[in-house]
Chains A and B, each alone.
Chain A
Amino acid sequence: MKKLVLGAVLLGSSLSASAVAPGGPGCGWGNLLFEGSSGTGAHLLATLVNGTSGNATFGMTSGTNGCDTSGTLTYSGKSLLAMNGVLEEVAQDMAVGHGEALTALTVSMQIDPADRAHFDSVMHENFTHIFPREDVNAAEVMDNIQAVMKRDDRLARYVS
């Protein structure tokens, strides 16, 4: 169970909270966006002094940068997905068949290193089941990943 929660956490949702769309309207496949820089001055300054925006900068506070993660236990106090488009990166890795973001998912789901290549290929084969629509959200993706894993002999044990 712990493994599952960890995996869910990585994708910015939790099993118990999956009834609530994680991240709200600011999150999800269709809306993974970077907040555009707000003008030349801001950009130059950010370049010169590497400015931090000051909110949520110590890995403990709950992140609300574009995504509401209230009530959700998240990786490092923030939804990784909400902050930086991990879902999009995971999608690309699954389509290609491997990648660092996908590996991060296996690590957080505590999948044995010996099973990782197998996990990668199962995810690759089932890409269209896991990402069925462009507006799929993180919770659905997590559910889909679990459903696919349950049907696989080697991966079922990680979701039981």
Chain B
Amino acid sequence: MIAVLLSVAVGHAQPLSVRPSEAQFAGMAASARWQALLHINQGATLRGIGHSYVDDNDFFLAADGATDPVAELRASWQALRIPGSPVRCRFPARYRFLAEQLGWQAHDPLAQCHEYRQWREQMPTGQLVLVFPAAYLNSPSSMFGHTLLRLDATPDPDSVWLSQAINFGARTDGLDNSLFYIWRGLAGGYPGRFSVVPYAEKIREYAFVENRDMWEYALNLDTDELDWVIRHLWELRDINFDYYFFDENCSFRLLELVKVGRPQAPLMDDLRFAELPVNTVRALYAANLVTERRYRPSKAGELEHLADGLDARELAMARRLLADPSLADSPAFSRFAPARRHVIAQVAYQALRLRHRQGPRDSANARDGLALLRIVQRNPAPPERPLAEPPAPETGHDTQMASVGLGGQDGTGFAEFGYRLTYHDILDPLAGFLPGAGIEGLNIRLRLSEDDGLSLESLDLVNIRSLAARGAFVKPTSWFVHAGLEQAPVAGGRDLATFIQGGPGASWNWGGFRPYAFAVARAETVTGFDPDLALGGGTELGAVYLAPNLQLGASARLLYFTDDFYRLRTSVTADMPLSTDNAVRADCARDTWQGQAVNSCRVALRHYFN
């Protein structure tokens, strides 16, 4: 196979000993493929344009290879032209590049590379797939998500459990639990590396342990293009890149890898600040690389779907069976029809696995698991109910948002202008997002008022909210954390407060209607007011209604502060999508503070963009 591919030489056949001219070197080095093989920054990020992203001397044969693609090409030619050279085993893609460019004719040029050949044989070469594990339950920050690639043995494989995953992640050996390490991850303190692991491991990690839905996008790279990718992957073994959370992250690196297979694909022509996985997917669609999309529900999603098919009596039985599988022999269980018993036991089994998905398993739950599977097995299955596929992440609204609105506060009119860097709040248009999960970073609102002129109404640094619904089997704790600046009611009016607040809570899902309750703690400081730091505690009760064409919210938050004052804020919000990237939002709020109250209402147009 390798020999066949290599015999397709493009240039004029040239003996290995003939040194190309400097002009030839320069021309080859400027080619898109060589630039891709060296990971030269074409301007997609601002650090080191024209230089390689690779941060590892082992990757370069020339001393200045990282900054000079021509020098690296010369050094590569020097080393790779020697038959039997071990360098050929380290750089099989570069070898292919030179052999094709210079028309090198050789029979089995990588014959000596046993380790590489053994590895190469194990790598499936049927199809490359981009995999996007979507946001997971109760972890809105996972919306920023992750992407990986998958290599299948054939297009449309029988079972992806036999496929290989190509992953790029920060290498975090010897990790302790300090928050310092998170900072290092964001700031580029860790080296990033590619890894190749069985895809089955990733299914387990994402769909099972983290309960993330997975979206799989098949790409149309052909066998020859895949050969480039796989050869180059080998070149990246144990090679370090810098890892930056915001731009040079996993999604960004995967695009580079796809470009090695198809250098002319317009994937990294624009500046890509804060590469989000969803935009990686969009970039692949825009470059006409995606042929098919598949949805793989999380285990919790599968369980929920199965449980939805049970009536209340059957659900109660499943719960009892989960607690004690020996009830299978009881008359109460035998009364159900065999097909119903099958589903009841399956629900109990999946709930058991979900409950024990982390931490050590003991023999008791292994025994219960097998007992439940036996019930499943001996009762014939009913026809399966197909699981409806939710809207895909890339069909959702764009990541940044600008808004303009009008409103009034106690009879005074104002205009408001907003900008949000990222990404989604719970009442934003729902398509493509996990219902009840919101994360906002850098959200600013300026108000122009008849009385006060221009003022900062609010600046959210971070606002994360997770309304994770409690179900029959999964009982997550909802939570929120919110920090920034906002106009708060103080003596004689409103003033800018710096605050942080948050707390745990619970939420339920009743057909799109989601009530919730939070315990709230808040610390704030307002310049010039006593005390310097006010500490408060209280509760927030509310509900949201989430439907494809309308999102509604109502809430009341009551806080008592140590300085013996209280604050009550009640609000209602309605948000209606006009199109994928436009929505209109109206809200009214009443802030009560020691018997005084401020009332305001506003309506705003919100536009999402990238």
Contact = CB atoms under 8 A, between A and B. Distances in A.
Contacts of B195: 52, 57-58
A93 to B, nearest CB: 10
12 contacts: A33-B359, A34-B209, A36-B360, A39-B177, A41-B181, A49-B172, A50-B170, A52-B172, A83-B204, A97-B381, A100-B159, A104-B200
A106 B157 CA distance: 13
Contacts of A44: 141, 182
A40 B177 contact: yes
Interface of A: 29-34, 36-42, 44-60, 75-78, 80, 83-86, 88-89, 91-92, 94-97, 100-101, 103-104, 106-108, 113, 124, 127-128, 131, 133-135
B472 to A, nearest CB: 20
Contacts of A58: 119, 195-196, 237-238
Secondary structure of the A side of the interface?
A: helix
Interface in B72-125: 115, 118-119, 122-123
A104 B504 CA distance: 42
Contacts of A135: 363, 366
Given A49-B190, A57-B193, A135-B366, A34 B167 contact: no
B494 interface: no
Q: Which of A76, A77, A108 has its CB near the most chain B CB atoms (within 10 A)?
A: A76
Contact of A86 (B161, B245, B346, B349): B161
Given A50-B146, A51-B171, A86-B161, A30 B361 contact: yes
Contact of A127 (B161, B167, B198, B374): B374
A127 to B, nearest CB: 4
A75 B245 CA distance: 32
B173 to A, nearest CB: 4
A95 B374 contact: yes
B122 A51 contact: no
Nearest to A40: B177
B301 to A, nearest CB: 15
B167 A50 contact: yes
Given A51-B175, A54-B173, A60-B119, A96 B361 contact: no
B198 A53 contact: no
Contacts of B162: 75, 104, 107-108
B198 A80 contact: yes
B376 A78 contact: no
Q: Which of A56, A84, A88, A100 has its CB near the most chain B CB atoms (within 10 A)?
A: A84
A38 B249 CA distance: 23
Contact of A48 (B123, B182, B200, B237): B182
Contact of B169 (A49, A85, A88, A97): A49
B373 A54 contact: no
A54 B141 contact: no
A39 B178 CA distance: 10
Contacts of A124: 377
List 4 A-B pairs, minimum CB-CB distance, nearest first.
A57-B195, A104-B161, A41-B177, A49-B170
Interface of B: 115, 118-119, 122-123, 139, 141-142, 144, 146, 158-162, 164, 167-173, 175-179, 181-182, 185-186, 190, 192-193, 195-198, 200-201, 203-205, 209, 237-238, 243, 245, 249-250, 346, 349, 353, 357-361, 363, 366-367, 369-370, 373-374, 376-377, 381
Given A30-B361, A86-B161, A104-B162, A42 B175 contact: yes
A80 B200 CA distance: 8
Contacts of A47: 139, 141-142
Nearest to A133: B370
A133 B547 CA distance: 47
Contacts of B361: 30-33
B189 to A, nearest CB: 10
A108 B158 CA distance: 11
Contacts of B237: 58
Contact of B370 (A29, A50, A52): A29
B359 A51 contact: no
Contacts of A101: 159, 161, 200
Contacts of A39: 177
B332 to A, nearest CB: 22
B381 A83 contact: no
Nearest to A59: B196
A34 B115 CA distance: 31
A91 B162 CA distance: 17
A115 B351 CA distance: 32
Nearest to B237: A58
Contacts of A134: 363, 366-367, 369-370
B169 A96 contact: no
Given A58-B238, A96-B381, A50 B204 contact: no
B377 A83 contact: no
A45 B181 contact: yes
B55 to A, nearest CB: 15
A128 B159 contact: no
B197 A59 contact: yes
Contact of B176 (A31, A41, A86): A41
B141 A48 contact: yes
Nearest to A83: B201
A96 B346 contact: yes
Contacts of A103: 158-159, 161
Contacts of A41: 175-179, 181-182
Contacts of B141: 44, 47-48
Q: Which of B118, B197, B237 has its CB near the most chain A CB atoms (within 10 A)?
A: B197
B143 to A, nearest CB: 10
Q: Which of B193, B353, B360, B361 has its CB near the most chain A CB atoms (within 10 A)?
A: B361
A37 B139 CA distance: 15
Nearest to A31: B361
Contact of B377 (A50, A75, A108, A128): A128
Given A29-B370, A76-B164, A131-B370, A60 B198 contact: no
Contacts of B182: 41, 44-45, 48
B470 to A, nearest CB: 21
B195 to A, nearest CB: 3
A140 to B, nearest CB: 14
Nearest to B179: A41
Contact of B359 (A36, A46, A54, A131): A36
A31 B122 CA distance: 28
A108 B358 CA distance: 29
Contacts of B172: 45-46, 49, 51-54
A84 B237 CA distance: 23
B146 A59 contact: no
Given A47-B141, A49-B245, A83-B197, 17 more contacts: A33-B359, A48-B182, A49-B169, A49-B170, A52-B167, A54-B171, A58-B238, A59-B196, A60-B119, A84-B198, A84-B205, A88-B369, A95-B349, A104-B158, A131-B370, A133-B370, A134-B367
